Amino acid sequence: MRPFDYSRAATLEEAMAAGPGAALLAGGTNLLDLMKLDVARPASLIDIGHLPGLDRVEEAEGGLRIGALVPNADLARNTAVLARYPAVAEAVLSGASGQLRNAATTGGNVMQETRCSYFQDVLSPCNRREPGTGCGALGGVTRNHAILGWTEGCIATHPSDLCVALAAYDGVVEIAGPGGRREVPMESFHPLPDAEGAGPPPLARGEIITHVRLPECGAMARHARYVKLRERTSFAFAIVSAAAALDVREGRIMAARLALGGVAARPWRCREAEEALEGTAPGEDTFTAAVALSLANAAPSGDNAAKIVLAGRIAVLALSRAALGTPDRLPALPASVFEGDAP
């Protein structure tokens, strides 16, 4: 690891004033790994882990406002989150080991980097890491790479589970910066790659995520699930995942929310499927036809055509479980496709 300076910011203004070459440190569960790999090379670390007021989950206009420094472990067991946004809790619990959840934060989870092995290998060309060098993943091992929104410049996917659930629930990212405050929908916060690579950064210099806000979700609270296909049911990133929430009344779907993970450089909101499901009766055939609309433009970025099929099946499974209703207790294997096989 390269030498670096360390300081602790006492206020949000101090953190925003960090100079060139500085990186913000909260839980550090992603940043420190990248520093060890020599992918991230900050000249200084600014510890923001003790900024006041950002470690709470609060009521906000009928919904919830989650501070950027709320640990993943606290978010997953928050009673309001469990009761009203159960897919968020299920996504967080599927996302990492208990030790990592104790350290990882909401804002850090949103800002985590791709787990593309070519990005993490400094000997491989990567437009995301070094613009203009090319994409080493093209023609390589692409099983876990994008099937939606990719370009020849970058085929990496965003690894977060939490962000997929936040996008499905219409989450909004609140940002503070030298130019004031702004808000960005979670579903469009992470840029899709342009022809040259990763596209513009989600945050400008000096900007910091302060909160993620979830709007009121009404009847969807009891019909929401998260499903994640991974290489092992213990700690592993998603090959494909899906967050689904339904408003079901008198046997009809009044409104639907669906987002996919592991398929693009951002959580992929399935608007076409949502519109097709409104007014229909829940059922596997209905779900399959609706999901197909959102995957109509999916294309393999290498030897990963099977991922398109898997994405459809996982989305249908998430919708089917949501239609059955959120269980009173989260399953022993949160988000697992093998949930029914668990003791």
Cα–Cα distance between 63 and 79 in angstroms, integer? 13
Residue 31 — left, alpha, or beta (φ > 0 → left; ψ -120 to 50 → alpha)? alpha
Residue 229 lies in a domain: yes
Instruction: Tell me the residue type at 336.
Output: S
Residue 1 pLDDT level (bands cut at 50, 70, 90): confident
CA dist list (Å): 73 to 68, 100, 242, 259: 13, 9, 21, 22
State the CATH number of the domain containing residue 248: 3.30.390.50
Helix %, strand %, coil % for the chain, to 5? 30, 20, 50
Cα–Cα distance between 3 and 21 in angstroms, integer? 12
Residue 330 pLDDT level (bands cut at 50, 70, 90): confident
Residue 227 lies in a domain: yes
Q: What is the pLDDT of residue 175?
A: 98
Q: What is the pLDDT of residue 342?
A: 40
Q: What is the pLDDT of residue 333?
A: 87
- Residue range 193-219, pLDDT digits in tens: 999 888 888 999 999 999 999 999 988
> Which domain range does residue 224 map to?
220-324
Instruction: Tell me the residue type at 126.
Output: C
Residue 212 lies in a domain: no
Domain count, the chain: 1
Q: Retrieve residue 265's tokens.
A: 């450089």
Residue 338 pLDDT level (bands cut at 50, 70, 90): confident
Cβ(100)–Cβ(76) below 8 Å: no
Instruction: Tell me the residue type at 302.
Output: G
Residue 248 lies in a domain: yes
- Residue range 49-87, pLDDT digits in tens: 999 999 999 999 899 999 999 999 999 999 999 999 999
Residue 228 lies in a domain: yes
Residue 261 lies in a domain: yes
Q: What is the mean pLDDT of the chain?
A: 95
Residue 267 lies in a domain: yes
- Average pLDDT for residues 279-285, to the nearest whole number? 97
Residue 35 lies in a domain: no
- Average pLDDT for residues 26-35, to the nearest whole number? 95
> Three-state DSSP class for 275?
helix
Q: What is the pLDDT of residue 341?
A: 47
Q: Radius of gyration of the chain from Cα atoms? A: 19
Cα–Cα distance between 105 and 161 in angstroms, integer? 13
Cα–Cα distance between 225 and 331 in angstroms, integer? 11
Q: What is the pLDDT of residue 343?
A: 35
Q: What is the pLDDT of residue 18?
A: 87
